Structure 1
Amino acid sequence: MKTLGNILWHFPFLGFVQAALTWLIGLVFLITIIGAPIAFGLFEHAKFLMAPFSKSMVKGGEIGKRTGGVWRVLSIITTIIYIPFGIVLAVVNIIQIAIQFVTIINIPVAVVLAKSLGTYFNPVGKKCISKAVKDEMERRSASAELDRLEKAG
């Protein structure tokens, strides 16, 4: 089903165009140097848009990604600067989602765009991973929570 979803995402719904536009926006941010953290997040998002039914976007901290002090400060500054752009992209994305939901056949596209909403709002530090890795992360998190509850109870 995931493969079929990815195929349908690209050919009738032109998902590769959305991925290319996201990648180009990331390239513009990369040229500005201070926008590098945003650019890398948008590149990861473009990777997600190439196979949205078999990939997932997560925060870098969720996968144990560590950043240096300078990169962390630059990321915070960039996030603050990016907020107006993020709000505009998020609003445009919400309008797209609403339009897609009105036409019944485009609901799968709307679901992909809805999953992307958080990344459009703040792409800094996001990472594209496979669904299998995401599922394993959730399983481990649930297991750790269960262990914690058993110790407390």
Structure 2
Amino acid sequence: MRTIGNIFWFIFGGFLMGAGWWLAGAIAAITIVGLPWAKACFVIGQFAFLPFGKEAVSRKDLTQQDDIGTGALGLVGNVIWFVLAGWWLAIGHLVSALACFVTIIGIPFGIQHVKLALIALAPIGKTIVSK
């Protein structure tokens, strides 16, 4: 079922949102300062291409240890991310979610867009794991 969901997701909008994440990552990678955000964009962009069967979790919850992305610097990075790019990606996912919620078949896709919109607000310190 995950494979079918991922195929339909990729064809009907997942490609565009994943490409949006990768575009944000490419823009962030242009400068040295933007490299932490670029890495997060590429990881979450890969998740946005094929989200079924995976979930985003905090690295701190996964490893039980603080690192540079889950501590105070991660919080500062997420605030900067939110102001510069996060809310744009979140709006894109929410608009896509509303379009998906119009039909019964689109509800699972809309739920995935809402999850990705929440991740778009604060991606630093997150990692993607299989369910």
Shared topology, TM-score over 0.5? Answer: yes
- Write out aligned runs for 1:1-153 (5 A): 1-11=1-11, 13-64=12-63, 66-68=66-68, 74-84=73-83, 85-131=85-131
Query: Structure 1: 5+ residue runs without aligned partners?
Result: 132-153
What is the RMSD of the two structures over their aligned residues, measured on CA atoms? 2.4
TM-score by length of 2: 0.80
Query: Structure 2: 5+ residue runs without aligned partners?
Result: none
Deviations 1:104-129 (A, max 9, x none): 33223212101212211111111111
Runs of 4+ in 1 over 6 A off after TM superposition: none
Q: Which has the larger radius of gyration?
A: 1
Counterparts of 2:17 and 2:93, CA distance in 1:
11
Counterparts of 2:93 and 2:23, CA distance in 1:
17
Q: Percent identity?
A: 34
Q: Which has the higher helix share?
A: 1
CA contact (8 A) 1:40 1:124 kept: no
Are residues 34 and 73 of structure 1, via their aligned partners in 2, closer, same or farther at CA, if it must alter by over 3 Å?
A: farther
Are residues 106 and 81 of structure 1, via their aligned partners in 2, closer, same or farther at CA, if it must alter by over 3 Å?
A: same
What amino acid maps onto 1:121 in structure 2?
A: L
What amino acid maps onto 1:130 in structure 2?
A: S
CA contact (8 A) 1:56 1:128 kept: yes
Deviation at 1:23, TM superposition (A): 1.4
SS for the counterpart of 1:104 is coil
SS for the counterpart of 2:106 is helix
- Structure 1 window deviating more from structure 2 (44-53 vs 95-104): it is 95-104
